[in-house]
């Protein structure tokens, strides 16, 4: 289990972007990180990943203080897909192979190449394996970024707004891929998201931030119109159509 306790962070040491945030991330589930702009979603992810240094609090994984781990140990624990993708000028195969660099102390081995081919097959891009990533569509590039993160062999996968720049079809394909690989690779996933309907459809759990604090942390079925009103300032209704929950905004 990943535990964040009493986490406080400020960029300027004056105004807290995260204020006494505590949460548990249980293994094997997909958690949607929700909240309006400016509530600290991306900042929370970066603090968990140790990309930012928090003022107060602690982050532990299975009882071990994450801040005490080496870079390689952290890489085996956490994989990250940022909002702005930087895949370089290389083939799909090479971009995904780079996920194995933490294992390649003396260069890549056969098992690294085999693992790369396996994950390329899992994401359905075998026919594009030697295409330059710059020639891919936005949805395909996102799949490559996810595959590279998977290939890292980490326990936890964090994604910062993975569907924000995708059309509706690619949004669904991306989230269905995440659901599939979560089970296939025994991953625990947290993704910051703006689309509440996608979150309520594809996630298991949600963490809702408000005013730089945790407002609610619960199973996704417990997200209510009252929660949406309190955090986003809009009236809404949640209905079920063909077994799928849908959030209908009704006004401010």
Query: Tens of pLDDT along 55-74?
Result: 899 999 989 999 999 988 99
CA dist., res. 19 & res. 227, Å (int): 19
Report the candidate in 99, 81, 92 with the shortest Cα–Cα distance to residue 123.
92
Q: State pLDDT tens for residues 71-86.
A: 889 999 999 999 887 8
What's the pLDDT score for residue 14?
75
pLDDT at 102 over 80: no
Q: What residue spans define the domains of the chain? A: 2-87+154-251
pLDDT band with cut points at 50, 70 and 90 for residue 115: very high
Query: Does the pLDDT at position 106 exceed 80?
Result: no
Partnered with residue 11 across adjacent β-strands are: none
Which candidate, 22, 18, 1, places its Cα nearest to that of 53? 18
Q: Tell me the average pLDDT across 191-199.
A: 97
Determine the CATH number of domain 2-87+154-251: 3.40.50.300
Give, rounded to a whole angstrom, the gap between the first and last alpha carbons of the chain: 38
- pLDDT, averaged across the chain: 93
User: How do residues 129-175 score in pLDDT, each as one tens digit?
Assistant: 999 999 999 899 999 999 999 999 999 999 999 999 899 999 999 99
Question: Is pLDDT above 70 for 105?
Answer: no
- pLDDT over 90 (residue 13): no
**Joined tokens for residue 88:** 């370089």
Q: What is the mean pLDDT of residues 183-206?
A: 96
């Amino acid at each position: 289990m990943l535990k964040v306790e009493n986490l406080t962070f400020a960029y300027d040491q004056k105004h807290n972007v995260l204020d006494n945030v505590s949460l548990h991330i249980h293994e094997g589930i997909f958690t949607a990180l929700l909240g309006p702009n400016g509530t600290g979603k991306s900042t929370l992810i970066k603090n968990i990943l140790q990309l930012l240094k928090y003022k107060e609090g602690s982050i532990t994984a299975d009882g071990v203080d994450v801040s005490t781990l080496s870079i390689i140990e952290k890489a085996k624990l956490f994989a990250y897909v940022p909002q702005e993708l930087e895949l370089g000028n290389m083939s799909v195969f090479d971009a995904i192979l780079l996920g194995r660099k933490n294992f390649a102390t003396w260069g890549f081995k056969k098992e690294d190449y085999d693992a790369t081919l396996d994950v390329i097959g899992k994401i359905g891009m075998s026919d594009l394996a030697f295409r330059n990533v710059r020639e891919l569509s936005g949805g395909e590039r996102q799949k490559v970024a996810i595959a590279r993160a998977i290939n890292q062999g980490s326990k936890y996968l964090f994604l910062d707004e993975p569907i924000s720049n995708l059309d509706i079809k690619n949004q669904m394909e991306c989230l269905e891929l995440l659901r599939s690989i979560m089970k296939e690779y025994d991953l625990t996933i947290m993704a910051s998201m703006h689309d509440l309907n996608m979150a309520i459809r594809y996630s298991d759990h949600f963490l809702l931030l408000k005013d730089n604090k945790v407002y609610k942390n619960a199973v996704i079925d417990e997200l209510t119109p009252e929660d949406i009103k309190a955090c986003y300032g809009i009236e809404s209704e949640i209905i079920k159509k063909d077994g799928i929950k849908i959030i209908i905004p009704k006004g401010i």
